[in-house]
Structure 1
Amino acid sequence: MAIVKIYNTLTKTKEEFQPIRPGQITMYVCGPTVYNYIHIGNARSAIAFDTIRRYFEFRGYHVNFVSNFTDVDDKMINEARREKTTVPELAERYIKAYQEDTAALNIEPATKNPRATHEITAIINFIKQLIAQGYAYEADGDVYYHAKKFAHYGELSSQNIAELEEGASEHINEEEQKRKQDPIDFALWKKQKQPDEIAWNSPWGKGRPGWHIECSVMATKYLGETIDIHGGGQDLEFPHHENEIAQSEAATGKKFVHYWMHNGFVTVGAEAEKMSKSLHNFVTVHDLLKTVDPQVLRFLMASVQYRRQINYSKENLQQAEIILQRFKNTLNNLEYRLSDQTSSVQAAALEEAIKKTKMAFITAMDDDFNVQNALAAIYDLLPVVNANIAAENADKEALKEVKQLLHDWLAVFGIETTQLTATTAAEDEDEIAALIKEREQARKNKDWAKSDQLRAQLKEMGITVEDTPQGTRWIRE
């Protein structure tokens, strides 16, 4: 088996992937904070790592995939107050919406979706361990991690500690500065500030977890003290993932993650501005799917290499739709030709093109999931396939292989060929069949005027008629 190469954010190099256990992969990807519908920037991350997971599964690996829900933090508390509801009720609503939206985008369910509020005991025990080891301290009901005590702090995101310290001191208030031993220290546990604020009992008083600690706890609890891959958006490199490393490795004394992977942003507009809720320039998946085919959105997001930026625009959506239509046409052509009664004749050119494409697809995807090159290889195969479909004598055995390969390859990108080519039975199909039969008879009678009149009538019904060497076929526009 050829070796997959992954760009490791920690080492800033492309490395050969070697899982901890042969044939098995442990993978943790940071999930959403569930206080609103996800926007397409969030969806890009989910789709990118789903595509990576699917490719590993295509290559025969078993992937244990964990992605969390952050169901308590300041944003959730503030939104719950604004909506006059509770944090748990808010979380339930948007977790359900997330599951519906990601299902529409054909994102495989995670092996497990742990939630911060379901792991409070484990989080408290993890914090107690960090305090006992001298990496954390309590201050008036809050608990902070002493970042400078972790020797490798800043390595993932290439941050300069002195500059971090200076920057942090400018952004914290005097009260917080008094509690912290150092400006760059970060919260593991937050004291309850208001009586209506969701909180749990702890050795340090009533409060709730900080954001970073939950992922350290859930990743190590469900995947082990050392995991193969940890992923998320580029904006999580610092401070979130940097803090995860510091917490996890201080607690376990072991390397936390072998390969760190980060996906690029989704941008919008001519200025290529990053899409985010804070900038109020986002489009939610929930709203978008009311007007956009989910397969088109999925394909747009999956067809760009995960580390690259994606510019979201109507034009790019239209281009994705055109490419999907090309696949659909080829699959429909395959289905039609394989169903006819002609015999199969070996075509060396087609078989050689299939062999070449199989190698090119693997080579591209093994190279840090280079989806653009993988798709280019498949595109190059399509004209050869369609030429053989149209030939008087087709290589049906090779075409059967192509049909299966297209199914397998497109599934890596989250596109199911059965859905791509699915048509629903319509009330007018008996009428269409009768008109097709009448037109075929007109052609046999060389009544070309009648034939053209029937073609035009079918066109008005949204039906395109194609005359092939194997007979007449029709497709709904």
Structure 2
Amino acid sequence: MHAWPASEVPALPGQGRDLRIHDTATGGLVTLDPGPVARIYVCGITPYDATHIGHAATYNAFDLVQRVWLDTKRQVHYVQNVTDVDDPLLERADRDGVDWAALAEQETALFREDMIALRMLPPRHYIGAVEAIPGIVPLVERLRDAGAAYELEGDVYFSVESDPNFGKVSNLDATAMRLLSAERGGDPDRPGKKNPLDPMLWMAARPGEPSWEGGSLGRGRPGWHIECVAIALDHLGMGFDVQGGGSDLVFPHHEMGASHAQALTGEFPMARAYVHAGMVALDGEKMSKSKGNLVFVSQLRREGVDPAAIRLALLSHHYRADWEWTDQVLQDALARLERWRSAVSRPDGPPAEALVEEIREALADDLDSPAALAAVDRWAALQHEHGGTDTGAPGVVSRAADALLGVAL
């Protein structure tokens, strides 16, 4: 599977700062010092509908992580998956009377278009669950053969008790875990499981559903969590720098994935930091496909909304915050974009070197994009009120907004 073309990231004078970011597992800020190549894995979409603002907010957060690292003169090895076979996709295809693979391909293509429009930097490896199956099967076999997995009526389950560090990502108690497992794709009430929390690694073939050859596992398809583990271990190895996604992935997805990887390798932790973006609401409820309360990026673009304004709307909220999309949020972003573009369109302006450092400092401090926007706002206000004599300043501001914030002026 291919990703999307990268937009050029302008070079800035000087060098960025190491990123301090909130780690869900420890509950505090950690300073990441990745070395010359930073490694990040971000969980991708299940492509049964178009990219909504909640998706965009999540990928915007991890795009900022990439940009901060690039500004420190590091390379970034970014990996993202596509869950192109899963129950929600099959259910939507059946509802609409379409082929599930064609639906996945169609929505993945639309996602790429949205990412290009929003100037999201692409992953180096963009891997679908289906293409990862040859690498998933041997991992499930290894877990089973090591006693970390067991069979139940042809399905294969992971035993959470096989990982002594299970629970150290979410830090939730068993009651909370069980409730979330039931809400988020698990089957805690299935009879015969050793532990209600045990997640499925391999689902034996069901009539009328797609399946693949699974060696000694028999025909079937992979569970959700092992998919990401196989892709991450193959392309990044253990101990990579950031595991990212929305806050709804903390449990069970990231918890289970970490345990799978740790049981497979005997190493801990899978990732140095578990970083999670907040949820976006609409009309008082979390924006989600199941509720149908969605604002689609593609629809906004069709309505003529400048993607740079959509990006500014996302950046106006801290990535970890839960917030609500409203018409006012978009109108504020459009007004800000107009002010910024007007300010950089002049031939000269107030000096901008200090502004670049303010943006860098804000983003290095747990991706504080609202503070970064406020810094640019102050420069634009000075430009509109007093002007300046630095002929290079507007260009510096324009390049900094593009390089660090992904906003093309």
Partner of 1:268: 282
Kindly state the Cα deviation for residue 412 of structure 1 after the two structures are TM-superposed: 2.1
| 1:151 alignment partner in structure 2 | 164
Aligned residue identity for 1:333: R
Q: 1:129 aligns with which of 111, 126, 142?
A: 142
Using CA pairs below 8 Å that are at least 6 residues apart, which structure has the higher relative contact order? 2
8 A Cα contact 1:220 1:226, kept in partner: no
Aligned to 1:119, what secondary structure does the other structure show?
helix
CA distance in 1, matches of 2:299, 2:78: 28
Distance 1:235 1:150 in 2: 22
User: What is the CA–CA distance in structure 2 between the aligned matches of 1:40 and 1:168, rounded to whole Å?
Assistant: 25
Are the structure 2 counterparts of residues 164 and 47 from structure 1 closer, same or farther at C-alpha, using a change threshold of 3 Å? closer
Asked if residue 280 in structure 1 is aligned to residue 292 in structure 2, the reply is: yes
Scaled by the length of structure 1, the TM-score of the pair is 0.77
1:41-64 CA-partner distances (Å, limit 9, x unpaired): 111111221122122212322111
Is the CA contact (8 Å cut-off) linking 1:265 and 1:310 kept in structure 2? yes
Query: Are 2:343 and 1:330 equivalent residues in the alignment?
Result: yes
Equivalent position of 1:181 in the other structure: 194
CA distance in 1, matches of 2:353, 2:383: 13
Q: CA deviation at 1:257?
A: 0.2
Tell me the distance in 1 between the aligned counterparts of 2:93 and 2:292: 19
8 Å CA contact 1:23, 1:62 repeated in 2: yes
**Rounded Cα–Cα distance in structure 2 between residues aligned with 1:53 and 1:183:** 38
Partners of 2:286 and 2:362 in 1: CA distance: 28
Distance 1:2 1:163 in 2: 38
Q: Where do 1:305-454 residues align within 5 Å?
A: 305-334=318-347, 350-351=350-351, 354-386=352-384, 389=387, 395=389, 398-417=390-409
Identity of aligned residues (%): 31
CA distance in 2, matches of 1:274, 1:325: 30
Report SS of the residue matched to 2:127.
coil
Cα distance between partner residues in 1 of 2:119 and 2:27? 31
Structure 2 residue corresponding to 1:200, chosen from 212, 218, 221: 212
| Cα distance per residue 1:189-237 (max 9 Å; x no partner) | 011221x210012222221001111000001101112211110000000
* Aligned counterparts, 1:7-406, within 5 A: 7-19=22-34, 22-161=35-174, 164=177, 172=187, 176-178=190-192, 180-194=193-207, 196-202=208-214, 203-254=216-267, 255-269=269-283, 271=284, 273-291=285-303, 292-334=305-347, 350-351=350-351, 354-386=352-384, 389=387, 395=389, 398-406=390-398
Tell me how large the CA RMSD over aligned residues is: 2.2
TM-score by length of 2: 0.89
Partner AA of 1:412 in structure 2: L
Q: 2 CA distance for matches of 1:106 and 1:278?
A: 27
Larger Rg: 1 or 2? Answer: 1
Q: Distance in 1 between matches of 2:291 and 2:179?
A: 26
Q: Distance in 1 between matches of 2:45 and 2:182?
A: 29
Deviation at 1:88, TM superposition (A): 1.9
The residue type paired with residue 364 of structure 1 is A
Shift of the alpha carbon at 1:278?
1.3
Cα separation, 2, equivalents of 1:282 and 1:166: 25
Q: How many residues align?
A: 389
Letter in 2 for 1:266: V
8 Å contact from structure 2 (residues 356, 400) kept in 1? no
Q: Give CA deviations for 1:270-312 in whole Å, capped at 9, x if unaligned.
A: x3x2111112211222222211222211111123221112320
| Alpha-carbon offset, residue 168 of structure 1 | 6.4
Q: Measured at CA, do residues 75 and 357 of structure 1 come closer, stay the same or move farther in structure 2, by a change above 3 Å? A: same
Distance in structure 1 (CA, Å) of the matches to 2:272 and 2:345: 44
SS at match of 2:51: coil
Q: Write the deviation string for residues 308-335 of structure 1: whole angstroms up to 9, x where unpaired.
A: 123201111000111111111111123x
Kindly report structure 1 stretches of 4+ aligned residues shifted beyond 3 Å: 162-174, 383-389
1:86 shift after superposition: 2.7
C-alpha separation in 1, matches of 2:242 and 2:311: 23
Distance in 2 of aligned mates of 1:2 and 1:97 = 34
Task: Flag structure 2 segments of 5+ consecutive residues without an equivalent.
Answer: 1-15
Conserved? CA contact 2:344–2:397, under 8 Å: no
